[in-house]
Amino acid sequence: MERRRITSAARRSYVSSGEMMVGGLAPGRRLGPGTRLSLARMPPPLPTRVDFSLAGALNAGFKETRASERAEMMELNDRFASYIEKVRFLEQQNKALAAELNQLRAKEPTKLADVYQAELRELRLRLDQLTANSARLEVERDNLAQDLGTVRQKLQDETNLRLEAENNLAAYRQEADEATLARLDLERKIESLEEEIRFLRKIHEEEVRELQEQLARQQVHVELDVAKPDLTAALKEIRTQYEAMASSNMHEAEEWYRSKFADLTDAAARNAELLRQAKHEANDYRRQLQSLTCDLESLRGTNESLERQMREQEERHAREAASYQEALARLEEEGQSLKDEMARHLQEYQELLNVKLALDIEIATYRKLLEGEENRITIPVQTFSNLQIRGQGQKHQRRGKSQGHKTSQKPHNTSYTNTGSPDCKWSTASSRNQPGHQVCVRRPPQEEHRGEDRGDAGWRGH
């Protein structure tokens, strides 16, 4: 209803006359889909007013024709109204797109491109810095690897020295064990010799005692048998000889014991010195081994920490490089998408501009036709009887030419104009092939309300 009210108002502004002109449409003739309606200037016939009370004389065919024409005019009216609304909508959309294009042009996309280029340069500079830093870290890694190789070589040398020291220590321990065994053997020999000396002394004392007893018995026997021979000197001499022999034997045994004991003491001292030196060297080697082990552990820890830091640096640099590459690719994609979107908007704007120009041309054409028709419209009216007679004559003429009309039918150029007058219902302008009939039918009071309910108070068809 709103659309029909707007359209009726527009039509009332287009046509200021109080009558409607319809020409060239005979009673009983329907408008087909190929029929084109146009405003054709016709010579104004003599106006004739017909009272609407004569409507009862119209036949049923004329009523059907009028109903079909009214329905077709209403359809054409709706189509024309929708077309005007579409034109207005496209004009509004064109204005919105033009405003959006002006805004996009005002944003100066070149500055945005400069900003993107500056960001790209900064990202490339940071990427170069990261590459240089990565190269420097690789050089440091190579140097650390070389130092690690040197430290490993030193560690291998120290390990070899430690093994050699352990072998020497084992040899020294074996020699010390052998010296200890020799010392124990010598001590046992010394004990056995001391026991032998004590045994020899005991035997010697027993022999001396036996000799003294023998001498005492012989002296007693001699004294008994012989009358006190002079044996004192002989006994003294024998005693002296035995004492000399015993003292010489004792002296020789003591000398031999002293020499053996001195030799064993010297050997034990030498072995003890060698053992002390071996223990001292073993302690030195043990301390060196412990210090080298500590150095090795510290170097291993340093190497592991450096390798861990190097891996972390490489991973962090790889992540940063990947993020920068992704940001760069994303910025390039955004720039390309903005360019594509700008090109698409420009293309859409160009298409809409072309559509607008075409619509402006059509609107100008319609406006020129409407203004020309407004200037041309007059209010000539013929009598209703002439309209009926001519309509019946045209009906018989159409029946006679129905076969030829089926094979060759020319398009009608008929225009309808509703003036929106409360006294005039409809009028017809002329077509190309039929003489013009212009009629003004006065609307009775009972038809006004029905016309307003149907929405045909004001319409215009082309």
- Quick: pLDDT tens for 301-320: 888 888 888 888 888 888 88
Of 300, 334, 368, which one is at a domain's C-terminal end?
Answer: 334
* pLDDT, greater one: 373 or 445: 373
Q: Are residues 138 and 203 in the same domain?
A: yes
- Say whether both 324 and 422 belong to one domain: no
Confidence at 146, pLDDT banded by 50, 70, 90 = confident
* Strand boundaries in 123-274, DSSP class E: none
**126 found inside a domain:** no
18 and 164 co-located in one domain: no
Q: How far apart are CA 285 and CA 165, in angstroms?
A: 6
Average model confidence (pLDDT) for the chain?
69
Which pLDDT score is estimated for 5? 47
- Placement of tokens 């003491």 in the chain: 265
- The span from the CA of 315 to the CA of 323, in Å, is 12
Dist CA 393 CA 385 (whole Å): 12
Q: Would the pLDDT of 393 be above 60?
A: no
Q: How many domains does the chain have?
A: 2
Q: Is 417 in contact with 41 (CB distance < 8 Å)?
A: no
C-beta of residue 46 within 8 angstroms of C-beta of residue 382: yes
C-alpha span between 441 and 343 (Å, rounded): 59
Angle at 38 between CA 32 and CA 39, to 5 degrees: 145
In the numeric block, which tokens belong to residue 415? 């225009």
In this structure, the answer to whether residues 147 and 71 fall within a common structural domain is: no
Instruction: Look at residues 334, 361, 392 and tell me which one is the last residue of a structural domain.
Output: 334
What integer is the mean pLDDT of 75-102?
A: 86
User: How much is the pLDDT for 236?
Assistant: 75
The domain in which residue 440 lies consists of: 2-104+381-404+411-461
End residue of a domain, out of 279, 299, 334: 334
Percent of residues, the chain, with pLDDT higher than 90: 0
Residues 49 and 178 in one domain: no
Residues 212-241 pLDDT 10s = 887 777 654 444 444 445 567 777 777 787
Residue 130's nearest CA partner among 325, 327, 308, 303 is: 325
Which residue has 């200890």 as its token pair?
180
Q: Are 49 and 151 within one domain?
A: no
Residue 363, number of CB atoms within 10 A of its CB: 16
Q: How far apart are CA 201 and CA 23, in angstroms?
A: 183
Tokens standing for residue 281: 């060297």
Question: CB of 461 within 8 A of CB of 35?
Answer: no
- List b or e across 252-277, with b for residues whose CB sees 16 or more CB atoms inside 10 angstroms: ebeeeeeeeeeebeeebeebeeebee
